[in-house]
Amino acid sequence: MKYLKRLSGVLVVFLLLQAFLLPLGETKAAEGALGISAEAAALIDVASGRILYQKNGDKKMRIASLTKTMTAIVAIEEGNLKDVIQIPDEAVGVEGSSIYLRKGERLTLEELLYGLMLRSGNDAATAIAIHIGGSVQGFAYKMNEKAALIGMTHTNFMNPHGLDDSNMHYSTANDMVKLSAYALKNPTFRQIVSTKVKSISWEGESWDRRLQNKNKLLHLYEGADGVKTGYTKLAKRCLASSATRDGRQLAAITLNAPDDWNDSMKMMDWGFQTFKPTKLVGKGEAIDPDAPVFASEDQLQLITENDFVYPLTRSETTQVTSRVNLLQPRLGKQMVGKHVGFLQIYLGNQPIGQIPLTVKEAVPTLKSQLGFHAKESFWSKLWRIAAGGLLDA
């Protein structure tokens, strides 16, 4: 099996060294391997979108107030946080969790979003839906439209809050963890769901509403920064969680989970321990295609346009391969600076990413002109890689 060309030379040494430095407790991400109580669960690496673990990941289930993740991101993307919303009659007295809105009361969209995500206000969800979508049904259409764009292929939303008022309101652990990853890339969403306590206005009272986040993981788990709790009689306990450590963010979903807090912490502990972000390709690297694509007299190179970093276990580093896919088979000097194709990257047989390629003129170095290359010693390579020089290159 052909290794990714980046995995030749120095990077092979890096990956071998990395394998020894990774925790020895690596386990397979097989269903049930972590002892998760949840009927369905999933774990994702937010930056790459790779689902690291799943248990019944595509099983259609009720999702309770995890629904509000979609409500929030649609409202943030389509609304104005400073919009002042007059509370309609339909949003007053909605069953379940509430921030006790009154008819005619005025709050900003931002305040309602805090009420939605920290206290799980079903009344706030309804007010937001009517403001953004014109009606609850109109907003549900927007929710499903966004779900399709994100790639949530086993999901259907009927309301903005997740109450058990329809058998056609459902999703899966895999779809919901994709949604969490998508939403967490929005800075406004991240700020709201990571807030532990927030005060918002309470028209007609001499005090503000004090909203304390229901997500206990914000206090229990190192690096916790989201996302949403959920419960109904039919859905049982549901949880969307996230945490960031050393600049790397994971998100987890548990559905019908009697031990949801511990389930989430187990999954994220395992994910941080088992998978490491590995730089497979660096921006500006010269890529050597399998077959000649330039005339022999042309001093040209194929160059990558950006980095590619992907979470891998130590055993997976030997399963990465690549393929150059060009838009035309032969290239010349007229293509310098232009996009000419992609470097496609695979893990086993699965495509995991592609990097745009451009053409650049090769600049001969003094060493290449003289016909020799300085050779770095094996131990020098190991020392430089261990010190982090490779990933900074």
Give whole-number Cα distances, 284 to 305, 310, 337, in Å: 6, 18, 12
**Contact assessment for residue 232 and residue 164, using Cβ atoms and an 8 Å cutoff:** yes
Signed CA dihedral, 374, 380, 384, 385: sign only: positive
Task: Give the DSSP letter string of 92-111.
Answer: TT-SSS-----TT-EEEHHH
How far apart CA 336 and CA 191 sit, in angstroms, is 43
How far apart CA 167 and CA 58 sit, in angstroms, is 17
65 catalytic residue (yes or no)? yes
**Contact assessment for residue 109 and residue 83, using Cβ atoms and an 8 Å cutoff:** yes
Angle at 253 between CA 248 and CA 256, to 5 degrees: 160
Which residue type, as a one-letter code, is found at position 28?
A: K
Angle at 90 between CA 89 and CA 96, to 5 degrees: 115
How far apart CA 151 and CA 143 sit, in angstroms, is 12
Residues 204-236: b if buried by 16+ CB within 10 A, e if exposed: eeeeebebebbbebbeebeebbbbbbbbbeebb
Q: What secondary structure letter does DSSP report for 335?
A: G
5, 48, 65, 142: which one is catalytic?
65
Q: How many other β-carbons are positioned within 10 Å of the β-carbon of residue 60? A: 14
Longest pairwise C-alpha distance within the chain: 84
68, 146, 228, 276: which one is catalytic?
68
CA-closest candidate to residue 314, choices 347, 258, 352, 276: 276
296 catalytic residue (yes or no)? no
322 catalytic residue (yes or no)? no
235: Cα separation from own chain's centroid:
24
48, 120, 194, 322: which one is catalytic?
120
Residue 57 buriedness (CB in 10 A; 0-12 / 13-18 / 19+): buried
Q: What secondary structure letter does DSSP report for 206?
A: S
**Contact assessment for residue 18 and residue 306, using Cβ atoms and an 8 Å cutoff:** no
By annotation, the residues acting in catalysis are: 65, 68, 120
